[in-house]
């Protein structure tokens, strides 16, 4: 099934085809252009023809001859007949113009189709595309999907060289409907197109794969930030809190004179201390709290080992060491964020 973008916003079109270069082409209308304040229609058409693989544009006129002349005038701007499709509203005049253009090797999209008989006449006239407007039909209370299905079946049954284009797409469900019916092509606004690859469970699975890959390939030292909050054993609780606040961390490593880790002080320790002793504890020295050797890991270890250690010891932070010195704290959230 061919996939067209339905738009007239230049930046959106450029961005869309950069993100999804496999799209078949672009459909646009004078109404879209007016909505975006475009006044130089010819200039815009030429610009678009250089951006997209196939361009579908409007060819209008009061008579078949005028429509044909307009298509040829636009072609003379520098358009390629093989990569340009001229859109013509369905009518006796429009179908005559369609027949005339097709015989000369032009590609034509007969659109604004609302009934099977209109679609049949367009097929008979040799239209390259026939374009029912699903959203507009549904707005009026009609069974648009049945019409599209009937059009597809007519093409397939009679062997017309016509592609049924599902247009006036309003929802993701419309795209599902188009695939289910088996249309030959669909044109979709970027707002809908950009959602077609998204799914909550896909994101969860992808994030899990990415995280697991990081755990097995990234070293602990590479996951550390530049922040290394340290204090000495003779620092007071108040001084420890200043270090933690300035570094925006919930813990600080207690180090000896050589920079080796001899303990860790956390905001959890502070809460327990206040609960046990009450009152002002700010002047108490960290070393008086009875320091225990911290749970540490070497900077060269993989994040996988750090994750397992955090789970095994049931801690939130690990002291990261290098050559016997504390170089930072690895928080459980850092493993996920990195």
- Residue 268 Cα distances to 14, 142, 229, 242, 311, angstroms: 53, 65, 16, 15, 18
27, 70, 275, 288: which is closest to 167 by C-alpha? 27
Q: How far apart are CA 309 and CA 303, in angstroms?
A: 10
Task: Give φ, ψ of 231 to 5 degrees.
Answer: -140, 165
Q: How far apart are CA 262 and CA 259, in angstroms?
A: 9
Chain-centroid distance, C-alpha 303: 29
DSSP-assigned beta bridge partners for residue 320: 297, 328
Q: How far apart are CA 42 and CA 7, in angstroms?
A: 16
- List the structure tokens of 88: 């013509």
List alpha helices for the chain, DSSP H. Answer: 10-19, 30-35, 41-49, 64-75, 92-103, 116-124, 134-139, 144-158, 172-181, 190-193, 200-217, 220-223, 237-247, 267-277, 303-313, 332-337
Q: Which residues are catalytic?
A: 87
Task: Classify residue 330 by its DSSP letter.
Answer: E
Task: Classify residue 295 by its DSSP letter.
Answer: P
Q: How far apart are CA 305 and CA 311, in angstroms?
A: 10
Residue 203, classified by CB atoms within 10 Å of its CB into exposed (0-12), middle (13-18) or buried (19+), is exposed
Q: Kindly give the interhelix angle for 41-49 and 10-19, rounded to the nearest 10 degrees.
A: 10
Strand order across the beta sheet in which 317-322 lies: 296-298, 317-322, 325-331
């Amino acid at each position: 099934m061919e996939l067209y973008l339905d738009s007239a916003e230049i930046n959106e079109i450029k961005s869309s085809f950069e993100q999804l270069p496999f799209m078949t082409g672009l459909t646009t209308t004078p109404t879209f252009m007016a909505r975006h304040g475009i006044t130089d229609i010819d200039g815009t058409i030429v610009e678009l023809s250089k951006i997209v693989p196939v361009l579908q544009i409007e060819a209008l006129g009061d008579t078949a001859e005028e429509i044909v002349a307009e298509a040829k005038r636009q072609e003379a701007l520098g358009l390629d007949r093989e990569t340009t499709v001229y859109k013509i509203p369905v009518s006796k005049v429009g179908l005559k113009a369609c027949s005339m253009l097709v015989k000369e090797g032009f590609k034509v999209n007969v659109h604004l189709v609302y009934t099977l008989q209109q679609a049949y006449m367009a097929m008979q006239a040799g239209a390259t595309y026939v374009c029912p407007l699903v959203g507009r039909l549904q707005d009026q209370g009609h069974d648009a999907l049945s019409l599209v299905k009937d059009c597809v079946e007519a093409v397939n049954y009679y062997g017309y060289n016509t592609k049924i284009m599902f247009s006036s797409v309003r929802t993701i469900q419309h795209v599902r409907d188009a695939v289910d019916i088996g249309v030959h092509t669909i044109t979709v606004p970027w707002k809908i197109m950009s959602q077609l690859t998204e799914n909550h469970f896909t994101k969860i699975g992808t994030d899990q794969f990415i995280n697991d890959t990081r755990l097995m390939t990234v070293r602990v030292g590479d996951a550390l930030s530049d922040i290394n909050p340290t204090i000495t054993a003779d620092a007071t609780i108040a001084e420890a809190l200043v270090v933690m606040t300035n570094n925006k961390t919930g813990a600080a490593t207690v180090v000896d004179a050589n920079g080796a880790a001899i303990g860790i002080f956390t905001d959890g320790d502070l809460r327990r201390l206040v609960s046990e002793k009450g009152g002002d504890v700010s002047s108490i020295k960290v070393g008086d709290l009875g320091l225990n050797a911290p749970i540490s890991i070497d900077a060269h270890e993989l994040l996988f080992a750090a994750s397992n250690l955090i789970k095994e010891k049931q801690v939130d932070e690990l002291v990261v060491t290098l050559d016997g010195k504390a170089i930072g704290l690895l928080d459980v959230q850092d493993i996920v964020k990195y």
